[in-house]
Chains A and B, each alone.
Chain A
Amino acid sequence: MSADTRSNRISRRRFLGTSAAAAAAVTIVPRRVLGGPGETAPSDTITYGVIGNGGRKDSGMRRWKCCERIAVCDVDTKRIGGDRDGKSRFTDFRKMLERKDIDAVAIGTPPHWHAIPCIMAAEAGKDIFCEKPMTKFIAEGRAVADAVKRYGVVFQIGTFGRFGKQNEANRENHKIIQYGLIKDLSDMVVTASGKNRIGQTALPKQEVPEELDYDFWLGPAPYKPYNKDRVHYKNRFYWDYEGGDLTNFGFHSLDPVQWVIAKDDTSPVKVRPGPAPWPQHPDAVCPFSWTESTYADGLRLVLGGGSIKAAYDRPKKRSSVSVKDLDEAARKRYDELPDPPKLVEFDVAVKTRQQAGGNAESSHRCSALMNLANIAIRLNRTLEYDPVKEEIVGDEEANRFVNIPMRAPWHL
């Protein structure tokens, strides 16, 4: 070997050493960090924690690609998963709310556990995605809507029908009703539909499984002995935790309709139950047929889908309105007034700080409508309601369902 060859040869070890040093000075950067095509840069990412990792988990949040789940909370340790995915795990959502790196929460708990996490999340400055139905009783919904507004956070309910093509096609209907361009809508009947599965009336006490913190699962709901058929999805069929399928499935159907009839900021003045077996059980949700909710302008909303098949008992002349129904003066006014704004998706709302399309106020009004329907069914009485004071009028017992006391230490 010549001297030149020796001097020009770099030993493999030196080469590797030099190369390693050189490599260290150049970092391989994942595409998502830079926010390349199809990837969200960190500043555009909405980090969130899931509260209630059961059936629904955060399936609604996955609608927006910029949302990244970084924490999970559940009172059932079997539901918070293992440690392999790098997410933080909690059994107490209040600890999760302390995290400054969490921008939002996705609430998938049973409905009796919707209001308090929503309110506390707002108090902690977190944006909120909350599964439907929004709340279990009327005063809860008002408290959530007020907290969201007070703290300037974003709220989106977990149903998206109002963003769909049906609502796009009904903007004219919405505008006419919103601005009161037809004064009397008493010949208008609109329908929405739920489902109706019922609870069991004699569930004996069972031993609480080790993985479940039952006291925390109950939270604000009254103490009743544990039974596996009262928890984990089946809570739907017990008044302590939810309003049955009327509120569960009814919300999907009713929420877009509420927008179409421009009632996102008000409630009915009268609620009448249709025929149903009575009395209802004090604990387990029972069959119903339909309820009729009448608004101040006369418009009636019939919420059906009950397992009791009974036809609605009043004639319906029309279920929508259009510009053709307006007189000349109203038509002129229609042209002058603004069109309804486009509904804003959660991810855009978080970035621009606007209210989302399925916001807290509209969701509260939708929940309140269904809560009133259930009260009417349970009492077998027509109710009169003040949509401004949000009280049932002239019926003290019924009004006691509006703001139900919570188990300590929980409160609105």
Chain B
Amino acid sequence: MKSSRDPGSRAVPAATTAGVAAMSAVVEQLPAAEQPKREIPKQLAELFEKIPTQDEATIKEVFTKLVQGGPATVERLVALVGDEFGDPQGVKPKYALHGLVHYASRPGADAERKMIAETLAKELSAKHSDELKAFICRQLQLCGRPQEVPALAPLLASDRLCEPATQALLAIGGQQATAALRAALLKAKGKRVATIIKALGRLQDKDSADAIRKAVDDPDRNVRLVAWYALGNMGDAHSMGLLLTAADTDAPFERIQATDACLLLGRRLAEAGKTQDAEKIFRQLLDERKAPEDVYDRCAALEGLAAAIGGKAVDDVMAAMGSDDVKYRVPAARTAVDLARSIRTDDPRQAEKLLKKVLEATKEETVRQQAQLLLGKPPT
């Protein structure tokens, strides 16, 4: 270590308790190449020498021994990975720790996975850098279980760690993870708001709908957009009017995204059996998006309507296949084939009507062949 008299050195404090703490802070700030060499226990060093390897027996030997080392070994591996992302000293420890996560997560190894996941979760409250904790979150994204949620939840308050913790929680899924995110939303600020709303939308958490509805007027566009997505994906029927209003905007990109959120809401409502609500959304879009440049919205609304109400959409699909606009007519023919397939057992007459119209509406050979095969005719 350089002397404090060296003008190029960093000052090294005296070896008092406060000094040791200060020295640790200095060491943490050193670039990876300047980090002091970390001592590797002999047994671990021997195992590191053997990996990566193609030999299955060696793989089993190394990782069985690492598992047998228990929490102490996992803690040691974490420490050896180091605080800096690109630290060359951390390479072999990373191979070992990451390999251990995969090994212990194999089907049937529940006890091993429990040990690894529990230990990694405890390490989240240890004195490690944010980069190292982000790495730990990524391992928990692979092996984490609901039991690790309490350790991840506090990280939702960190600007740097909210995202990796959220991704781990999303991978774990379930009620506990959802509840942790819902609670964190109440206190979230800045970029964390969009992160958490988006996650609650992906988890389809209807219990957070009220809180998320308040975010649709957020001054941050990212927050507004993810709020629309979240309300659509969770199938929140109370948001129908709000989303349809949002879609009726002059701001081009917002219009596109809010419209997609409406269509998503329609699909989720249909999946939940709320076909009347779904139909209302799709029909409103079909009625409102009449301009030629909105044809793609009409295609999407027609597809959604057919999937939601089945045979009751036959007339709409037939009319679409009679459109002068090829951009509407040809996709409508594909929708017609899907619709015919879904109704032909219950209503073969309507299915036949659709399929015959397909043969008039489109020259797309793949679709024509599908229609002919469904009609039971040898395709021409």
Contacts and interface: CB of A to CB of B under 8 A. Distances in A.
Given A277-B53, A379-B106, 13 more contacts: A150-B303, A201-B91, A201-B94, A222-B134, A223-B163, A224-B85, A279-B95, A281-B91, A286-B52, A341-B365, A352-B330, A354-B363, A397-B102
Interface string A174-205: 00000000000000000000000000011111
A353 B54 contact: no
Q: Which of A286, A380, A400 has the most CB of B within 10 A?
A: A400
Interface in A356-412: 378-381, 394-397, 400, 404-405, 407-409, 411
B210 to A, nearest CB: 21
A354 B364 contact: yes
A55 interface: no
A407 B170 CA distance: 12
Interface stretch (A30-38, A118-126, A130-138): A118-126
A342 B106 CA distance: 45
Interface string A318-340: 00000000000000000011100
Given A202-B86, A204-B84, A125 B53 contact: no
Interface string B62-98: 0000000000000000000000111110110011101
A222 B32 contact: no
Q: Which 4 A-B pairs have the closest CB atoms?
A: A279-B99, A152-B331, A341-B365, A152-B299
A153 B90 contact: no
A204 B54 CA distance: 28
B225 A409 contact: yes
Interface stretch (A40-48, A92-100, A255-263): A92-100
Contacts of A354: 330, 362-366
A204 B32 contact: yes
A222 B51 CA distance: 26
B188 to A, nearest CB: 11
A276 interface: yes
A167 interface: no
B330 to A, nearest CB: 4
Given A98-B252, A151-B300, A409-B226, A222 B378 contact: no
A336 B366 CA distance: 16
Contacts of B362: 354
B191 interface: yes
Contacts of A278: 51-54, 59, 99
25 contacts: A123-B259, A125-B293, A125-B296, A149-B334, A151-B299, A152-B299, A202-B88, A204-B87, A205-B32, A205-B84, A225-B131, A278-B51, A279-B102, A280-B99, A281-B98, A283-B94, A338-B372, A338-B378, A352-B326, A397-B106, A397-B143, A405-B166, A408-B191, A409-B198, A409-B225
Contacts of B223: 409
B105 interface: yes
B86 A227 contact: yes
A282 B138 contact: yes
B220 to A, nearest CB: 9
A302 B53 CA distance: 22
B163 A408 contact: yes
Contacts of A124: 256, 296
Interface in B86-135: 86-88, 90-91, 94-96, 98-99, 102-103, 105-107, 131, 134-135
Q: Which of A122, A149, A378 has the most CB of B within 10 A?
A: A149
A204 B91 contact: no
- Prevailing SS type, chain B contact patch: helix
A54 interface: no
A341 B299 contact: no
Interface string A211-225: 000000000001111
A153 B296 contact: yes
Interface of B: 31-33, 51-54, 59, 84-88, 90-91, 94-96, 98-99, 102-103, 105-107, 131, 134-135, 138-139, 141-143, 160, 163-164, 166-167, 170-171, 191, 194-195, 198-199, 201-202, 222-223, 225-226, 229, 252-253, 256-257, 259-260, 263, 293-297, 299-300, 303-304, 326-331, 334, 362-366, 369, 372, 378-380
Contacts of B252: 98
Interface in A257-289: 275-283, 286
A282 B98 contact: yes
Given A152-B299, A202-B86, A405-B171, A411 B95 contact: no
A225 B160 CA distance: 12
A378 B139 CA distance: 14
Nearest to B307: A150
Given A123-B256, A281-B95, A275 B54 contact: yes
B141 A280 contact: no
